[in-house]
Amino acid sequence: MDSKNTNEGTYYSIDELNDKILSLMSPDFHSLEITGGEPLLHAPYIKEFLSKYNYKSMLETNASMPNNLKLLKDVIDIVSMDIKLPEHFDSIDEWVDVYTSELKSVEIAEEEKMEYYIKIVVSPTTPSDVIERIMEDLSNISSDVTIILQPMSPIELWADKSNLFKLSELVAKYYDVSIIPQMHKYLGVN
């Protein structure tokens, strides 16, 4: 299934989705993680679902749809937001458009007092000046957010970890930072 194609997948009514969740729920259930593709494409559905079924919930988003994030402010407990780097785009203009939306999502999370953290996938060649710019931009919006640096896979790319530590130290000048690998890649779950 193509995670970016909204015409694929299985569609459930609100009640059918709840039945499906209940059928999968284990005794150690903590919260419902809403991920995708991009779940903000379905913000009205998510709002309707979580308004009816008040699960503790986490939204994992690329943060490129700030207005849809705002729609969910009262039903989501925590947001895991991505900030993509220019190296992940075909052009700097494309990156600037997405980055502007991501920063707007951070502003909304702050304004609405949403609990959130930010993930940034880095490579061994991620320039420190790009990370510095992002930290400066974020510091104009928020004084207290956790940043998670995720070293891109595969692990073999990281024979030299000096850039990863350099980026971590740079982020730590502004915010609490953790380095957490992309576990789904290591586990073979895409």
Q: What is the DSSP string of 137-184?
A: HHHTT-S--EEEEEEPSPGGGGS--HHHHHHHHHHHTTS-EEE---HH
**Alpha carbon distance 63, 71 (integer Å):** 13
Which range is least confidently modeled, 10-24, 64-78, 170-184? 170-184
**How sure is the predictor about 5, in pLDDT bands with cuts at 50, 70 and 90?**
low
Task: Calculate mean pLDDT across residues 33-50.
Answer: 95
What domains can be seen in the chain, in order of their start residue? Answer: 28-186 (3.80.30.10)
The pTM is what?
0.88
From edge to edge, which strands make up the β-sheet containing 57-61?
32-34, 57-61, 78-82, 116-122, 146-151, 177-179
Segments of the chain assigned E as strands:
32-34, 57-61, 78-82, 116-122, 146-151, 177-179
- Closest to 34 (Cα-Cα) out of 3, 80, 84, 68: 80
- Please report how the helices 92-111 and 128-139 are oriented relative to each other, as an axis angle in degrees rounded to 10: 30
Kindly state the tokens that stand for 135. 């930290």
pLDDT digits (tens, 9 = 90+) for 56-105: 999 999 999 999 999 999 999 999 999 999 999 999 999 999 999 999 99
